[in-house]
Amino acid sequence: MKKTPSPQPAKIESFDLPPGRILARKYEILGFVGSGWQGEVYMIRERATGIERAVKLFFPHRNANDKTAVFYARKLHKLRSCPILIQYHNQEKIRCKGQDITCLISDFVEGELLSEFLLHQPEERLPVFEGLHLLNTLAAGVQQIHTQGEYHGDLHADNVIIRRYGLGFEIKLVDLFHWGGRKRENIQEDVFDLIRLFYDAIGGKTYYAGHPPIVKQICCGLKKSLIAKKFKTAGHLRKFLETMEWD
Ligand SMILES: Nc1ncnc2c1ncn2[C@@H]1O[C@H](COP(=O)(O)OP(=O)(O)OP(=O)(O)O)[C@@H](O)[C@H]1O
Ligand SMILES: [Mg+2]
């Protein structure tokens, strides 16, 4: 007799958790914060202490066998001494829309996403000098990840939160990704993504030709092979930034 396959649970596109909803009896939802490829993030308050935190709920179809959530938690834990990353607290399981959902509790980061921050700059971009400051802050933070033989894996403008902006930047990265494969190649990919963030922050393709030579020395026309020859890790990039001669 032919076996009938068990019905696939409906794909969850959004968790739609309203403010006031209690999670795992311990946390109260304060509001929706953002969403991405892996899941949704809400601001929560721990009921026992009143402390505010963030919870990331993983979409089950992007978290088969809990692999995504577990890699994420382990990597954040391993890299807990890196100040550019959020601190992992604990994992919870909840029921939502008839399915078991894995939730990851972390620090809540106040600030503004780099993508939004750029939108209200003049011409929606940073002047080169400020862009270099941003890149240097990012490279210094990611350098500490690379020094531990790890990589971030998901560096883009929606994963960078600007906490403070003055003479320099204070930044947090809210996300991570585990790609598998060789670490050295993933570290190199981080370096490329950092340079891409800088390139976009100072205006992208539209303004590239008009930038001073130092920008071209860093961006290398976004050619991965040229970047890989010059900067193998965020540390190499940072060293270059700290010793470059301004022209
Ligand atoms: N700890 C946090 N504190 C404050 N805001 C956060 C926090 N974590 C995430 N966010 C916000 O929620 C959004 C989605 O979170 P996150 O990037 O972790 O989701 P994702 O599904 O992994 O996204 P991606 O598409 O980058 O993989 C972020 O872009 C950011 O705006
Ligand atoms: Mg993200």
Domains observed in the chain: 22-107 (3.30.200.20), 112-243 (1.10.510.10)
Contacts of 196 (CB under 8 A, 6+ apart): 222
Pocket test for ligand 1, best of 12, 33, 57 (most atoms within 8 A of CB): 33
pLDDT tens-digit profile of 1-51? 555 666 667 899 999 999 999 999 999 999 999 999 999 999 999 999 999
pLDDT tens-digit profile of 164-218? 888 889 999 998 999 988 999 999 999 999 999 999 999 999 999 999 999 999 9
CA of 197 to the centre of ligand 1 (A): 17
Global pTM? 0.93
Radius of gyration for the alpha carbons in the chain, expressed in angstroms and rounded = 20
CA of 212 to the centre of ligand 2 (A): 32
**pLDDT confidence band for 160 (50 / 70 / 90):** very high
Torsions phi, psi of 210, nearest 5?
Answer: -85, 0
Beta carbon of 137 within 6 Å of any ligand 1 atom: no
- Nearest protein CA to atom 18 of ligand 1, as residue: 175
Name the region of 53 (left: φ>0; alpha: ψ -120 to 50; beta: rest).
beta
Instruction: Report the 10 Å Cβ neighbour count for 146.
Output: 25
pLDDT for the residue numbered 94 = 96
